[in-house]
């Protein structure tokens, strides 16, 4: 990966001034295989952050194991504590995506983390993804399982299909941000924006677009990072009302040349 060194502090070429929300007391790190501490911190941050997303909370509240498996379906087996506890070589498991973390230099703790897929790379974790998804849903009640697969999943698929059709390209040719979360004690300090801004820089350099799904409560955050809303659709949560899933994207100059736009 050309932008972020795996274990060292951000190099001079990757360091920006405070106005760009990069901080002298932080280390920007590309995590290939997480340590025990990194895995523990990241899984806790994902659970804390995603439980603020209404449709996620509606499905996975009181289902810690189902939630854990749901995360692993996206971030891959290298984050599976059970494999690590069996003293297996975690680096030998397939890589599911990229992991960027912003860490404190003083104590090494992760303040913000982002997971995304890089369209220039090939990931080979499909077998594990299917396994984790199946096991995750086995822990859900029948009603929740039915709602997730008949409401949430089709909505997300439709939004992705619309994005592909409107842009005339495949989402596999775009950077896809799956999770971006910041430790609750460090919110509103620009840490998440720092990670996202680095990805936008990579998008500008490579010409590959960026896309993600979010909800109303975070669209302003992503808009400040140059992403724009592309589409939205309501998800019905019964007595709890409804919440829109919002698709956002960033299109760098010249993106049509590398994204294989269909004319």
HEC-encoded secondary structure of 52-72: CCHHHHHHHCCCHHHHHHHHH
At 187 the pLDDT is 78
How far is Cα 111 from Cα 137, in angstroms, rounded to an integer? 30
- Give the residue ranges of the chain where pLDDT is below 50: 1-21
pTM score > 0.85 for this model?
A: yes
By the 8 A CB rule, do 189 and 154 touch? no
What's the pLDDT score for residue 26?
87
CB-based contact 170:110 (threshold 8 Å):
no
**What gap in Å lies between CA 12 and CA 80, rounded to an integer?**
34
Identify the structural domains of the chain with CATH numbers, from first to last.
Answer: 12-255 (3.40.630.30)
pLDDT on residue 19: 36
| Residue labelled with tokens 């501490």 | 37
CA–CA dist 238, 97 (Å, integer): 33
In this prediction, residue 189 carries a pLDDT of: 82
Whether 196 and 222 have beta carbons less than 8 Å apart is answered as yes
pLDDT per position as a tens digit, 161-212: 999 999 999 999 999 999 999 998 887 788 999 999 999 999 999 999 999 9
- For the chain, the first-to-last Cα distance in angstroms comes to 31
For the beta carbon of residue 206, count every other beta carbon within 10 angstroms. Answer: 18
CA neighbor of 79 nearest in space, from 37, 51, 28 = 37
Q: Provide the pLDDT for residue 11.
A: 25
CB neighbour burial string for 41-59, b if at least 16 within 10 angstroms, e if fewer: bbbebbbebbeebbbbebb
């Amino acid at each position: 990966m050309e932008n972020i060194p795996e274990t060292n502090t951000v190099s001079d070429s990757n360091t920006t001034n405070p106005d760009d929300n990069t901080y002298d007391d932080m280390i920007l790190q590309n995590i290939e295989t997480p340590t025990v501490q990194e895995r523990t911190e990241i899984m806790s941050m994902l659970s804390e952050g995603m439980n603020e997303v209404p449709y996620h909370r509606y499905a996975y509240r009181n289902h810690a194991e189902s939630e854990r498996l749901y995360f692993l379906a996206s971030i891959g087996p290298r984050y599976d504590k059970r494999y690590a506890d069996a003293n297996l070589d975690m680096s030998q498991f397939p890589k599911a995506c990229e992991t960027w973390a912003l860490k404190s230099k003083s104590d090494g703790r992760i303040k913000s983390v982002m997971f995304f897929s890089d369209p220039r790379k090939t990931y080979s974790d499909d077998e594990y993804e299917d396994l984790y998804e199946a096991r995750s849903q086995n822990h859900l009640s029948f009603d929740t399982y039915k709602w997730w697969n008949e409401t949430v999943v089709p909505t997300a698929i439709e939004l992705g299909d619309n994005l592909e059709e409107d842009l005339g390209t495949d989402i596999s040719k775009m950077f896809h941000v799956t999770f971006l979360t910041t430790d609750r004690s460090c919110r509103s300090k620009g840490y998440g924006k720092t990670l996202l801004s680095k990805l936008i820089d990579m998008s500008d350099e490579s010409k590959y677009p960026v896309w993600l799904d979010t909800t109303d409560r975070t669209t302003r955050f992503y808009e400040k990072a140059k992403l724009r809303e592309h589409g939205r659709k309501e998800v019905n949560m019964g007595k709890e009302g409804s919440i829109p899933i919002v698709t956002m994207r960033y299109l760098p100059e010249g993106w049509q040349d590398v994204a294989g736009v269909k004319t």
